[in-house]
Amino acid sequence: MRAIEAEAARLYLQARDSDADGEWQKAYAWIARDPAHGFAFAKAEAGWELAERLNELPAGRIDTPADTAMLGADQSEHAIPEALVGRRALLRMAAAAAVVGVAGTVTLRLVRTVDRYRTALGETRTVRLADGSLVHLNTNSSIEVALQDNLRSIRLLKGEAQFDVAHDKSRPFIVEADGTQVRALGTMFNVRLRQDLTELTVIEGVVAVRNGGSPIRKIGGGKSAAVRSGSIAVTPIEPAQVKQRTAWQEGMVQFDGDTLAQAVEEFNRYRATPLVIGDPAIASLRVGGTFQVNRSNDFVEALESSFGVRAVAGSDDSVILVAADGD
């Protein structure tokens, strides 16, 4: 059994690190050969994700009736894995994932058809789901979609996506992103997985959000939420800020008083080789403007002509930014 668990962990980590379709298919082929393989793989996936989050999760919390009512009797956080389970032979595997609070990718794939969509570095893509909903994927992003008779479940594995949700009261639309669950109540919203938190922007309508043991928060259009470690910090945002956060759908990035460090981070999402701030003194420089995501050189030229910044080209096509008056 230890050998099976070791192989399950190896295959999961290999697929997870590469995020290549071929590696995932290799893992699922191995799973299909023996029910014990599926159980071990679900255990490996759930255990790894729990280990990553364990130090961040708050103490557990029992939902009040009001919380349950917001999601609906069959739409609580525990209803998602339960609703997806349809074969007696897989109940034990789903339960193993539920023990640690994770609905595993393998469980979703074996119980129902799961579609996987992804974008390469610098690529954006719009996917129309079978229910009529639209998913817009930003650069270097991937999702898994499981559409059931009573539930529409989306898992944002990495990157950023905007969801334009088709209204269907009989099938809740729930997005899971790094432990955060967002239930759409007929709406349009954007989810971005940042390094230290999950960023939610509600463009239209209302969503219900929870993370870990947090209470459920109802968030309306024109508001943003930063979600981390069971905390949900909600702030209102102006229409211009919403437009700035979603400009990527038009192939643009917008800056309005952002720091140079923030602008460089944004451009590097679309570049194979990075822009690098070589002088900490200019990292807090405030910049503005609208640029095409695939023309970061225009941004560099603007820095040199208007912001007192000098660019030094690296042999690997990287660009080092320093103060213009430096040596």
The dihedral of CA 85, 88, 93, 95: what is its sign? positive
The tokens describing 188, both together, are 């349009």
pLDDT (tens digit per residue) in 156-184: 999 999 999 999 988 999 999 988 999 99
pLDDT at 35: 66
What's the whole-model pTM score?
A: 0.70
Confidence of residue 48 (pLDDT cuts 50, 70, 90): low
| Range in 92-101, 189-198, 299-308 with the lowest mean pLDDT | 92-101
Q: What is the mean pLDDT of residues 188-194?
A: 96
Most confident of 33-42, 78-87, 142-151: 142-151
> Tell me, what's the pLDDT at 2?
78
H/E stretch holding 154 reads strand 152-158
| Domain 114-237 fold | Jelly Rolls (2.60.120)
Q: How far apart are CA 250 and CA 262, in angstroms?
A: 20
Report the candidate in 276, 93, 265, 275 with the shortest Cα–Cα distance to residue 192: 265
Task: Give me the CATH topology for the region 251-323.
Answer: Phage tail protein beta-alpha-beta fold (3.55.50)
Pick the closest to residue 139 from 299, 269, 317, 48 (CA basis).
269
Res 74 pLDDT > 50: no
- Looking at residue 32, its pLDDT comes to 75
- Per-domain boundaries in the chain: 1-112, 114-237, 251-323
Q: Copy the structure tokens of residue 253.
A: 């990035």
CA distances from 240 to 237, 254, 313 (A): 8, 10, 34
With beta carbons less than 8 A apart as the criterion, state whether 42 and 104 touch: yes
Q: Is 152 left (phi over 0), alpha (psi -120 to 50) or beta?
A: beta
